Amino acid sequence: MKVGLIDYGMGNLKSVANAIEKVGHTSKIISKPEGLSEYDGLILPGVGAFPEAITTIHNQGFDQAMNDFLRLDRPFLGICLGMQLMCQSSQEGGFHKGLGWFDATVENFPIESGLRIPQMGWNQLYPEKKTNLFKNINEDLDVYFLHSYYVSANELSDVLATTVYGIKYASILKKDNICAMQFHPEKSQHVGLTLLKNYFS
């Protein structure tokens, strides 16, 4: 499978590309919106701030190109900020509209909880339903997180897994051919690589 990694200037592209190749696929970094239909799957990664990211995606024309790709019914994965960009809106730096692919919002962690923000390090996934995404994973679903905001899902049927960090939030969303992971599968060792392999199989 040929997997394209969308480069809008805010992604951890090299490690994601390495992970995709470790699970048996080829990868290519895409810096222009033209030609997305050439790929068997896409990844929208991201590290950074939501407002700058969504503005860049619109300015570069990736939003329309990605919407066109979704109609091809091929796998499309969002990672970390990429997941948040797929939601309806974000509270980061004010109110900002997202791509709107999931009926979910990106919100501040509660200040009164005394949590260290960002959440950084290993935490547990709790599957909410049976799915092939979790096949061949026999150990605890510990994965690596690095984020300052969380996703609150309005459509619970889209939630494949949750995580608890002060509050319970959606850490994997999936609808039709779109999947999104709040954590970094490329940094999550065997569990993360298995999730990538299962999704792009």
At residue 198, the pLDDT reads: 97
At residue 115, the pLDDT reads: 84
Taking CA 161 as the corner, what is the angle to CA 159 and CA 165, rounded to the nearest 5 degrees? 110
Out of 25, 96, 147, 184, the active site residue is 184
At residue 136, the pLDDT reads: 92
Number of residues that make up the chain: 201
Number of neighbouring beta carbons within 10 Å of residue 74: 17
Helices (H), 11-144: 13-22, 50-60, 62-70, 81-85
Active-site residue flag, 96? no
Active-site residue flag, 184? yes
Q: What's the distance, Cα to Cα, between the start and end of the chain in Å? A: 8
Q: How far apart are CA 168 and CA 190, in angstroms?
A: 24
Out of 80, 107, 147, 179, the active site residue is 80
For 96, the token pair is 């900002």
Closest CA relative to residue 9, chosen from 59, 65, 77, 66: 59
* Total-model pTM: 0.95
- 26-60 burial code (b ≥16 CB/10 A, e <16): ebeebeebeebeebebbbbbbbebbebbbeebeeb
At residue 113, the pLDDT reads: 66
At residue 46, the pLDDT reads: 87
**How far from 120 is each of 17, 56, 109, CA to CA, in Å?**
22, 25, 13
pLDDT tens, per residue, the chain with 201 residues = 999 999 998 777 999 999 999 999 999 999 999 999 999 999 999 888 999 999 999 999 999 999 999 999 999 999 999 999 999 999 999 999 999 999 999 999 987 767 899 999 999 999 999 999 999 998 789 999 999 999 999 999 999 999 999 999 999 999 999 999 999 999 999 999 999 999 998
Long-range contacts, 165-168 (Cβ 8 Å, 24+): 165/109, 165/115, 165/119, 165/123, 166/109, 166/110, 166/113, 166/115, 167/109, 167/110, 167/113
Out of 25, 96, 147, 186, the active site residue is 186
At residue 196, the pLDDT reads: 97
61: which strand partners?
A: none
Q: What is the CATH number of domain 2-199?
A: 3.40.50.880
At residue 111, the pLDDT reads: 75
